[in-house]
A and B are shown apart, each in its own frame.
Chain A
Amino acid sequence: MLRDALLVGAKDLRVEVRSRVALNQVAPFAVLVLVLFAFALDPDRGLLASAAPGLYWIAVTFSALLAIQRSFAVEAADGARDGLRLSGLDPAGIFLGKAAAIAGQLLVLEVLLGVGVVVLYGTELRGGTVLALTCLAATAGLAAAGTLAGVLAAGLRVRETLLPLLLVPVAAPVVLAATKAWEAALDGQSDQGWPWLRLLGAFAAVYVAFGVVAFGPLLEEA
């Protein structure tokens, strides 16, 4: 299973390195979202700085939707999804590999967006441990639930519109918990961030486990 996960994950990252879709399209979009928030919330009244954690995680969630769409568009081209099924790869391995590749891309994006928040919103980064751990746990959860939603919608005519409707309600507690954990850390009260971090960890664990179990039937019978 892990061997197959490595194989699929490495393949997806190689596709990204060659095509640079995440780098050249998703990342600029994410930064643009940060700029749009500045239009919506008056930059002079300190609203942006105080809302920064929430805006940051909304930007991450939107970007995650794009990254997931891309991850499954790659498989849909010229029957590659059939190729994966035909290969006899362990479905759990495919799930973990695709989720890991999405998570990897999101983590890079989060660093970039972190810089964006500091530069554009004047946010001072504090509580680095909680910030970083929040990114790891929230990203793992988003990637796991997103990969699951991605394969659910893959192959349907309405996949582009269905994916957000399936994923966003499930990902809602991730956005909430990650925002609260970041708020606590940025306020210099990292200890208040830990309950949220544990919640993020639980979410990630639940959806990674469910994805490992459910991906087989989904790939085989759907």
Chain B
Amino acid sequence: MKTRILGLLAAVSLVATLVVGWRLPPTEEQAGYARLIAVHPALAWTAYIAFGVMALGSLLYLLPATRSRKWDRLAGASGEVGVVFTALMLVTGSIWGRPTWGTWWVWDARLTLSALMLALLFGYVALRKVDMDVDRRAIISAVTGVAAVLVVPINHFAVTWWRTLHQGRSAATLAPSSNLDGSYLRAMFLGMVAMMLVYAWLLIHRIRLERLEEENRGADLAVALAERRAEAHDGAVSGAPDGGAVVGS
């Protein structure tokens, strides 16, 4: 029931963000697009947190001392939700970049890193979608999650050097911190709170769904075990011609 309150809070703050964001005054440079400050930084912030939680859950599952199914569920759920936030961050960034830079995409360091992060998340989620044994999937995706986060610092240096060695253009122009007045800041923080609540709500529900699926599987197992044992009984007692021999898989 607590998640219902969380869901309600998430919905209310999301609507509030949209209303407050929509009513922000346009700026000279960016016109109405400046309103995106209410959602874009918040999406980015949440996307990075989702990636971090995915990596942390993977690491905790991988370490023998802390290995537990719950870390796998946490990592998997955060990875899936993270894909959505990362994709939305790139989309809103592009919409913002179009009037600001004149193109949908620039090879800015931060944009490139975000795109690479989305690719890493795609790989992670694609792996989890493959049909396989739950424990096997857990260990494989834990290794994938940790391997994905290990590359982040290296990516950071590589991409930053790559872009800054050539030109000074950076995403700093996206957030005009110098002339950012109070109403923009407030909208940005409200957006962050809203996105974090939405993230938490989605995460909890995804984890719950996964747990239910696993419990369901456990219940199936009890039935399957009973059926399997019954085969032995049929085969030995009745001696039916097809008794016990029909199980071939």
Contact = CB atoms under 8 A, between A and B. Distances in A.
Interface in B91-132: 116, 119-120, 122-123, 126-127, 130-132
Interface string B2-18: 00000000000000000
A176 B158 contact: yes
Contacts of A169: 116, 119-120, 122-123, 148, 151
B130 A199 contact: no
A45 interface: no
B139 interface: yes
Contacts, number: 84
Interface in A130-171: 145, 148-149, 152, 156-158, 162, 165-166, 168-170
A221 B154 contact: no
A206 interface: yes
A152 B130 contact: no
Interface in A162-189: 162, 165-166, 168-170, 172-173, 176-177, 180
Contacts of B136: 221-222
Interface residues on A, range: 20 to 34
Interface residues of B, number: 29
Given A172-B155, A214-B62, A218-B139, A207 B130 contact: no
B130 A156 contact: yes
B204 interface: no
Contacts of B119: 165, 168-169, 172
A150 B132 CA distance: 17
Contacts of B159: 173, 176
Contacts of A199: 154, 157-158
Contact of B147 (A168, A170, A217, A221): A170
A203 interface: yes
Grouping DSSP codes into helix (H, G, I), strand (E, B) and loop, the A interface class, with mixed when no group exceeds half, is helix
Contacts of A149: 147
Nearest to A214: B143
A177 B116 CA distance: 15
Interface of B: 62, 116, 119-120, 122-123, 126-127, 130-132, 135-136, 139-140, 143-144, 146-148, 150-151, 154-155, 157-159, 161-162
Given A166-B144, A173-B151, A199-B154, 18 more contacts: A148-B143, A152-B144, A165-B119, A168-B119, A169-B120, A169-B122, A169-B151, A170-B147, A170-B148, A173-B157, A195-B161, A199-B157, A203-B151, A214-B62, A214-B143, A218-B139, A221-B136, A222-B140
Q: Which 7 A/B pairs are nearest by Cβ-Cβ distance?
A: A169-B119, A173-B158, A166-B123, A165-B123, A169-B120, A221-B139, A214-B143
